[in-house]
Chain A
Amino acid sequence: MTYDRASTNGSAIVVQEVSKWFGSVVAVNDVSLEVSPGITGLLGPNGAGKTTLLYMIAGLSKCSKGAITVLGEPTRDNPGLYKRVGFMPEHETIYPFLTGRQLVELAAKMHGLPSISEPVDRAIAMVGMEDAQNRSLGGYSRGMRQRMRLAATLVHDPDVLILDEPLNGTDPRQRIEFQDTMEQLASEGCTILISSHILEEVETLAERILLMISGKLAASGDFRAIRAKLDEHAYQVRIVVDSPRDMAAAIVGMDSIDSVSVGEDGSILVLSRNVAELQTSLPRMAKDNGIRLTRMEPMDESLESLFEYMVER
């Protein structure tokens, strides 16, 4: 492939005020977002509208309202764009009568690649399926099917890769390999949009997140940055010191502290609405009170807590 990925500077995917409704049910509600090269996670619970949005981005489904472009072109009724875009849908049904290699070869042929063997070999090697490539897809495990479907999606070396729940059915080792593959593609300038309802999957993988809840885009950006904006939601911070009761008494006087408790293991659990202030004040307070500060760590600095909080809002 000779596509100049450098030319995809800026946003490879642009979604402008997009809505999708099925009768009276609104699946996606006035979503605007942009996705740049690198790995972006599309998060949300089941039924949030992630798949519907991805289908519209991939051009498989028509927007009821709004517009979507990928690499500057509209995706709907524009099959030529698929030379530069790869989309792996969530559903895992696949032609059971084909071997894994035949599935990837079919994709390569339909993409009109000038040579078939080399890109097919490369794609299968990327997902580590060389040994099972000549077995029937009908006999594959769920994880193997996922990997071979990914190989078929990668075979034409797309500039934009859209993956809907790609880690369904994969084991921890396969997830690490998948992460390595995605990071390699991202380092080459590929724009990757990965959806998931499992936060830990994306937490270690995506540089940016788009959080969808009930058809709306609830948040976007670096997940820690999003978290910091939610200043009305208190952070839980664990503090380890050599004199917990004295330290707890000092902390409780701060304005941004909602609660302080000392755990059975002697660590202090603080619920703070301003972690930055806590981080700067704590060492000084410890020094002023002659207390040795061993550790300070946020307890809920994870996508899961952010996700739960956003759903509750």
Chain B
Amino acid sequence: MIPVLKLSLRQMAGVRRLLIVSLLALLPVALALVTRLFASPDDAESGEFVTGIIDAILVAGILPLVTMALATASFGNEVEDKTLSYIMLKPVSRWKIALPKMVAPIIIAGPLVVVSGVAAAYIGVDQIRALPAEADYVADTSILTTPLAVGVALLVGVVAYSAVFTWAGLITTRALSFAIVYVFLWEGAISSLMSGVRYLSVRGYTLAVMHGLDETGLESMSDRVIEFPAAIGGAILVTVVFFCLTVWRLKKMDVP
């Protein structure tokens, strides 16, 4: 598995792609800093921060965008340029090809998204804690509780999204379009209209895990998230199912 993992990391580590995903990952931190530096104290309510930075930008935007940019390319590039046959013609079980292909985007996207989320959350929480109205909150929680919850949940999101988008990169040459439709139509538009869709949404799992790990700090999310165990189970199920679908596809596909 190690040779495939190293190969996949080198394939993904193109300068342009890394630059784009790094800039994307920096965006929430930059926004948090701008808010911290220029917003008046009256604007900085914890609910607004959570909705604005963590949910709308980090979880709904940066997390899927960064992961899709990397994970759809994991197999997508090899299908497109027909180099997939080089690894498929080796005496290696197909799961040993699928697993490193899924892990490679996690290795790159994970640190980027988690560090970005933790940093943005830390800046935001630090700002909130400075408000006199939030004295109870300060007394109840550590400054690190919310950033850690955000970091863990984002990592869960990266893993689940990687499984979905790695599979998408294998089944279609238009994986990026598929990913964008999934994220913005299914998880964005449809889940806002039908709350049940959150049970079938990586975004829903991510927010619920985040909330489950820090119910106090992220209380403003409580009316929009599914149950914590359901989120953990859903994330595991999505990851395992899409990994198995990837292995099955590798076994059954006509290699270009």
Contact = CB atoms under 8 A, between A and B. Distances in A.
A111 B94 CA distance: 14
B91 A82 contact: yes
Contacts of A111: 90-91
B89 A93 contact: no
A175 interface: no
Nearest to A81: B91
A110 B93 contact: no
Nearest to B93: A79
A3 interface: no
A2 to B, nearest CB: 15
A94 B86 CA distance: 9
A87 B7 contact: no
Contacts of B140: none
Q: Which of under 10, 10 to 19, 20 to 34, or 35 or more describes the interface residues of A?
A: 20 to 34
Interface string B157-168: 000000000000
Contacts of A97: 10-11
Contacts, number: 63
B93 to A, nearest CB: 7
A85 B90 CA distance: 9
B11 A77 contact: no
B87 interface: yes
Given A60-B254, A109-B3, A93 B90 contact: no
B54 to A, nearest CB: 36
Interface string B243-256: 00000000110110
A60 B4 contact: no
A79 B90 contact: yes
A138 interface: no
B85 A89 contact: yes
B17 interface: no
Contact of A79 (B2, B4, B85, B92): B92
Nearest to B254: A61
A110 B85 contact: no
A62 B254 CA distance: 6
Given A60-B89, A89-B85, A91-B82, A79 B94 contact: yes
Given A82-B90, A95-B7, A111-B90, A77 B85 contact: no
B255 A93 contact: no
B89 A87 contact: yes
B252 A62 contact: yes
B91 A83 contact: yes
Contact of B81 (A85, A93, A109, A152): A93
A51 to B, nearest CB: 11
Interface in A207-238: none
A47 interface: no
Interface string A20-63: 00000000000000000000000000000000000100101110
Contact of B255 (A60, A80, A109): A60
Contacts of A98: 10
Contacts of A85: 89
A110 B87 contact: yes
B179 to A, nearest CB: 24
A106 interface: yes
B192 interface: no
A107 interface: yes
A95 B11 contact: yes
20 contacts: A55-B254, A55-B255, A60-B85, A60-B88, A80-B91, A81-B91, A82-B89, A83-B91, A87-B85, A87-B89, A91-B82, A93-B81, A95-B86, A106-B7, A106-B86, A109-B3, A110-B91, A111-B90, A112-B91, A152-B86
Which 8 pairs from chain A and chain B are nearest by CB?
A110-B90, A60-B255, A82-B91, A61-B254, A93-B81, A109-B3, A83-B91, A91-B82
